[in-house]
């Protein structure tokens, strides 16, 4: 019995190791397709935005919330769309939206509202021809599979996972670059970290 349990644990550990390698290999391949100049082009818009609003749906929304926190740590005035304390967007503000398909109705409507109010729009998407991208002033294309896609040549992961992971990594690269330019120390950023946890 003990040998059976040990064998099963070994097989499960191998499955986890293989899965980790698959995910890392997919990211190495995808990273080579992401254009760093598209991400770098966002930096002036972020620095110019009076208030920055971030938005995404589902798991992409979770990545956008994490990105909002990173921007807050750098000292930007940041809001997450949909939170009860988020104000109206206005002229000179910036909306950063993430949508793999670029067709999520609520996000496209939010981008239309932002444009109508005189705000700029940045989008992260898999499709540069999608409605969200056509509305955006700046687009970062992450050529990952959309959640509806079942193409294992693009990703063996389920339902848009590669896009969501790559969105967070791309945004973290942007944050790291902004931080390098800003020159603040980690201790200075830490002062903005939540202290009521």
**What angle do helix axes 58-73 and 161-182 make, rounded to 10 degrees?**
10
Kindly give the confidence (pLDDT) of every residue in the chain, 197 residues in length, as a single tens digit, with 9 standing for 90 and above: 666 778 788 899 999 999 999 989 998 998 899 999 999 999 999 999 999 999 999 999 999 999 999 999 999 999 999 999 999 999 999 999 999 999 999 999 999 999 999 999 999 999 999 999 999 999 999 988 655 555 556 687 876 889 999 999 999 999 999 999 999 899 998 899 888 87
Of the candidates 12, 164, 180, 197, the residue annotated as catalytic is 164
What are the Cα distances from residue 29, in Å, to 23, 161, 166, 171?
Answer: 10, 15, 11, 18
pLDDT value, residue 167: 94
User: What pLDDT does 180 receive?
Assistant: 93
Residue 194: the pLDDT is 87
Instruction: Give the CA angle between residues 60, 92, 138 to the nearest 5°.
Output: 45
Active-site residue flag, 38: no
Confidence at residue 152, expressed as pLDDT on a 0 to 100 scale: 59
**Where do the domains of the chain lie, and which CATH numbers do they carry?**
41-182 (3.40.50.10490)
Long-range contacts of 177-183 (CB under 8 A, 24+ apart): 177/39, 177/40, 177/43, 178/43, 178/46, 178/47, 178/74, 179/74, 181/43, 182/74, 182/75
């Amino acid at each position: 019995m003990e040998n059976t349990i040990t064998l099963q644990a070994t097989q499960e550990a191998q499955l986890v190791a293989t899965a980790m390698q698959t995910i890392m290999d997919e990211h190495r391949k995808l990273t080579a397709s992401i254009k760093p100049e598209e991400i770098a082009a966002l930096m002036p818009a972020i620095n110019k935005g009076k208030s920055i609003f971030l938005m995404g749906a589902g798991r992409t929304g979770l990545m956008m919330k994490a990105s909002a926190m990173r921007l807050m740590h750098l000292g930007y005035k940041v809001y997450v769309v949909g939170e009860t304390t988020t104000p109206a967007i206005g002229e000179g503000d910036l909306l950063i939206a993430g949508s793999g398909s670029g067709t999520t109705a609520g996000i496209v409507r939010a981008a239309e509202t932002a444009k109508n109010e005189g705000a700029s729009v940045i989008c992260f998407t898999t499709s540069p021809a999608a409605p969200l991208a056509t509305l955006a002033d700046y687009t970062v294309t992450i050529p990952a599979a959309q959640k509806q896609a079942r193409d294992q040549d693009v990703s063996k992961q389920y339902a848009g996972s590669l896009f969501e992971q790559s969105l967070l990594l791309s945004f973290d690269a942007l944050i790291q670059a902004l931080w390098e330019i800003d020159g603040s120390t980690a201790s200075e950023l830490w002062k903005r970290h939540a202290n009521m946890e």
